[in-house]
Chain A
Amino acid sequence: MMAIFAIIQHKSGKADDTVAELCLAAKKIDAAAAVTAIVVGKAADCDAVAAEAAKYYANVWKIAADALAYPNAELIRPMLVKLIPAGSIVLAPFTPFGMDLCPGLSVKMNAAYCADVVGVDGLEGAALTVNRQEYAGQVYAKMKIDVSGGAVLTCRPGVFASDDVPVVNGAVADKTADAGAVPAAKRRFLEVVEAEVGDVDITKSDVLVSVGRGIESQENLEIAFDLAKIMGADVSCSRPIVDAKWLEKSRQVGTSGQTVKPKVYMAMGISGAFQHLGGIKGNPFIVAVNKNPKAPIFQVAEVGIVGDILELIPALTEKISEMKG
C-alpha cells in the first residue's frame, strides 16, 4: 500500500476544484492507499480549506502561518520535504502553482517526476503506468514510472472530475510544528496584478468566432470580424494571437485568459490545447475548422471540417449575407 499525498491549491479560503480530482486520481493509482490532503496557508484560509478537503480525504494535514498567506513555492517546498515521508507519492494540479512547486519538489525528495497526467493505468509492484499527451495533444504517451523511491505527479485539471466523489468526513491534523519554521526564501511575493478589462466582454457572448494561429496574419483577422458581424457574434482567440499583439488579452480564451460560456463556439484554426479548452465552459456547440485532421480540437467539437479557414470563413460569410439578403 502506497502513502499518497495531495497538495491542495486554494484561493481566498476556497479549495480549487482539483481538491476532489486529486483524491480520485489517488484512488486510481492505488485503491487501498492511505490518501492525505495537505493544505498550506494562513490560519483562517487553512481551516476553511482543510474542512473542505476533509469531505473527501480521510486525513488532512494543515500547515498554517501568516508568512504562507500567498502560495510561494520557494517557502512551501522545504516544508513539504520535511513533512512528507520519503518514498511517498505526491499529487498536485498541473497549474502555474503545481508547475512552480513540483519539479523542484521531486528533486528534493529524490523521487520520480511526471507532469500533466491525464490518465492512470495502475500500479504493478513499483512500476506505475500513467498516460499523458505530447506534441500539443496530438499523441499520447504511456509513461512507466519507477516509484520505488517515491514520485511527484501533477494531474491535468478537469480530467479526473466526477460527480460522485465519496464523502468520508476525515480528520484534520495540525502539522505546522512538524513542518518546521517557515524558511527564509530568496523569492518574495510582492502583489497580484489583475487582468485588464477590454472593450468587448467575451464572457458575455452567446456566439464566438474564435481564431487561432491558423489565421496566419493580423490582416487576415478582418475575415473573422466580417463573419462575426454577420452572425451577430464576437471575435475571441487563442493565445498566440495575443502573444503576437494582433488582439488584446481580454479576447483570449483559456486558463490564462478568459473563461467563456457561449452557446456556439467556432474554433477556427485552433489546435485545441488543453489550456485553451480549459477556458470553454458550459458545453457549447463547438464547430472546429482545421486543416490538420489530427488536431485535438476535433475530439471535443460537435462538428468538424477539415479545411483551410482562409477559404472557409469568407465562403461562410458570403453565404450568410446572401441568405440574409
Chain B
Amino acid sequence: MEILVCVKRVPDTAENEIAVNKDGSDIVRDDLVYSVNEWDNYAVEEAIQIRDKVGGSVTVVAVGDDDAEEIVRREMAMGADTGIIMKDSAFEGSDGLGIAKILAKCVSMGKYDLVLTGAMADDGAGQVGGMLAALLDWPYASVVNKVEAGSGKLTVGREIEGGNQEMNEIELPCVLSIQTGINEPRYVGIRGIRKVASVEIPCHGKDACGLDAASIGDAGAKVKRAAYFVPVLGEGAEMIEGSTDEQVDKLIELLKAKGGIK
C-alpha cells in the first residue's frame, strides 16, 4: 500500500504560553518551541504499522517553508520512507482550502492508495483532510481511531461521542483523519535522526504542480484572520496567591466548605 501522510509544524501548546502581539496581527512567535502536530505523529505511526503489515511505502509531506524540513526529517527518522516539501511563497496566507488544494496536487503527482492527515492541528479546525478528500473525489472518514487493512478496502473505527466507536468499511483510495490514541507513536532516537540527516527531500512549488496562484495563498483565501485577541471572559477564577503552604491552607478551607473533603 502506498501511503501519503500530511504533517504540519506547529507551536507546541503544551510547552508554550501563547500570547498575542501588540497590534493583534499575530501571536508572539519569538522563543516558541515548535514540533510536529501531535495528531500527525499518530498518523505517521499508523502508516508505518500498515506498511509493515501489508507492504508498500510511507511518504510524508508538509506544506511549509525551510523550517518544515526539520519535522519531515523527524517523521522520516520515525520510519517514513520518503519526504516531500511543498514550498512556494505563493502558498503563504492560504486558508484551509488553499492548503488542501496544494496537498491534492501533491497526491496527484504520486500514486497513492491511502492518504492520512491528523484529525486537527494548532488551528483546531479539523478541515484539511475532509477538503482534500472532496477535491480528489475520494471517500473520507474523520477522527479515525482504528484501521484494519483488507484487500481493496479498509475497516475503520471512527470516534464518536461518549467513548463509542463507529465502524465503517471504506474503499481505497481514501483519505482518513487520524485521532490520537489509535497507537503509541514510537520514540525517535538520535540514531534515527542521523540516519536520515543527509537524505534528499524534494521540494515542489506552484509551477511544478500546476497550481493557479489566484486559487491559493492570500489571493485565493475566502477565510482570513482579521485579528488575534484574548477576551476578558467574566470573572475567571479567583487566584490563590502566596507560598505553597499558604495556598494549600486556603485551598483546604475552600474544599471543606464545598464538600470536597470527606
Is the CB–CB distance between A143 and B226 below 8 Å?
yes
Q: Using Cβ atoms and an 8 Å threshold, which residues of chain A touch B161?
A: 95-96, 255-256
Q: B32-64 interface mask toward A, CB cutoff 8 Å, 1 = contact, 0 = none?
A: 000000000000000000000000000000000
Residue of A nearest to B238 (CB): A303
Point out the residue from A137, A144, A185, A189 that lies within 8 Å of B226, measured CB to CB. A144
Given contacts A107-B135, A190-B169, contact A139 B20 (CB under 8 A): yes
B262 interfacial contact with A, CB 8 Å: yes
Point out the residue from B128, B184, B224, B254 that lies within 8 Å of A245, measured CB to CB. B184
B93 interfacial contact with A, CB 8 Å: no
Given contacts A187-B171, A288-B237, contact A294 B258 (CB under 8 A): no
A177 interfacial contact with B, CB 8 Å: no
A312 interfacial contact with B, CB 8 Å: yes
Q: B219-239 interface mask toward A, CB cutoff 8 Å, 1 = contact, 0 = none?
A: 000111111111101101111
A104 interfacial contact with B, CB 8 Å: yes
A-B contact pairs, 18 of them (CB 8 A): A100-B158, A103-B100, A103-B129, A107-B134, A132-B124, A139-B27, A143-B226, A144-B225, A187-B169, A192-B160, A239-B181, A243-B181, A263-B258, A293-B17, A302-B238, A303-B240, A303-B254, A316-B252
B91 interfacial contact with A, CB 8 Å: no
Residue of A nearest to B158 (CB): A96
Please, how many angstroms separate the alpha-carbon atoms of A292 and B239 in the complex? 13
Q: Using Cβ atoms and an 8 Å threshold, which residues of chain A touch B233?
A: 299
Interface residues of A in 302-318 (CB under 8 A from B): 302-307, 311-312, 315-316
User: 12 other contacts beyond A129-B226, A186-B170, A312-B244, with CB at 8 A cut-off?
Assistant: A138-B13, A142-B227, A144-B226, A188-B170, A192-B167, A231-B261, A232-B261, A233-B260, A242-B181, A256-B162, A303-B237, A319-B252
Interface residues of B in 243-262 (CB under 8 A from A): 244-245, 247-249, 251-252, 254-255, 258-262
B212 interfacial contact with A, CB 8 Å: no
Given contacts A140-B228, A298-B237, A303-B238, contact A192 B244 (CB under 8 A): no
Stretch at the interface among A42-50, A111-119, A163-171: A111-119
Is the CB–CB distance between A190 and B174 below 8 Å?
no
Point out the residue from B27, B124, B236, B262 that lies within 8 Å of A231, measured CB to CB. B262
Interface residues of A in 276-325 (CB under 8 A from B): 285-288, 292-294, 298-307, 311-312, 315-316, 319-320, 323
A193 interfacial contact with B, CB 8 Å: yes
Q: B84-128 interface mask toward A, CB cutoff 8 Å, 1 = contact, 0 = none?
A: 000000000001110010000000000000000001001111111
Please, how many angstroms separate the alpha-carbon atoms of A138 and B161 in the complex? 24
Q: How large is the interface on A (under 10, 10 to 19, 20 to 34, 35 or more residues)?
A: 35 or more
Point out the residue from A136, A193, A258, A299 that lies within 8 Å of B124, measured CB to CB. A136
Residues of A within 8 A of B (CB): 72-74, 95-97, 99-100, 102-108, 112-116, 129, 132-146, 149, 151, 185-196, 206-207, 213, 231-233, 239-240, 242-245, 249-250, 252, 255-259, 263-264, 266, 271, 285-288, 292-294, 298-307, 311-312, 315-316, 319-320, 323
Enumerate the 7 nearest inter-chain pairs by beta-carbon distance, A residue then B residue, closest first: A103-B130, A232-B262, A195-B163, A304-B237, A104-B134, A264-B260, A107-B134
Residue of A nearest to B169 (CB): A188
Q: B7-39 interface mask toward A, CB cutoff 8 Å, 1 = contact, 0 = none?
A: 000010110111110000001000000000000
Q: B164-186 interface mask toward A, CB cutoff 8 Å, 1 = contact, 0 = none?
A: 11111111001001001100100
Given contacts A115-B127, A320-B252, contact A193 B168 (CB under 8 A): no
Point out the residue from B127, B181, B261 that lies within 8 Å of A113, measured CB to CB. B127
Residue of B nearest to A232 (CB): B262
Given contacts A74-B139, A103-B129, A263-B258, contact A243 B180 (CB under 8 A): yes
B82 interfacial contact with A, CB 8 Å: no
Is the CB–CB distance between A187 and B96 below 8 Å?
no
Please, how many angstroms separate the alpha-carbon atoms of A116 and B95 in the complex? 15
Given contacts A115-B127, A192-B160, contact A187 B139 (CB under 8 A): yes
Given contacts A99-B130, A193-B167, contact A186 B174 (CB under 8 A): yes
Residue of B nearest to A114 (CB): B223
Q: Using Cβ atoms and an 8 Å threshold, which residues of chain A touch B249?
A: 319
Given contacts A191-B167, A192-B167, contact A143 B162 (CB under 8 A): no
Is the CB–CB distance between B227 and A207 below 8 Å?
no
Residue from A139, A143, A145 whose CB has the most chain B CB atoms within 10 Å = A139
Residue of B nearest to A190 (CB): B167
B80 interfacial contact with A, CB 8 Å: no
B83 interfacial contact with A, CB 8 Å: no
Q: Using Cβ atoms and an 8 Å threshold, which residues of chain A touch B170?
A: 186-188
Is the CB–CB distance between B155 and A135 below 8 Å?
no
Point out the residue from A113, A252, A305 that lies within 8 Å of B239, measured CB to CB. A305
Please, how many angstroms separate the alpha-carbon atoms of A132 and B129 in the complex? 20
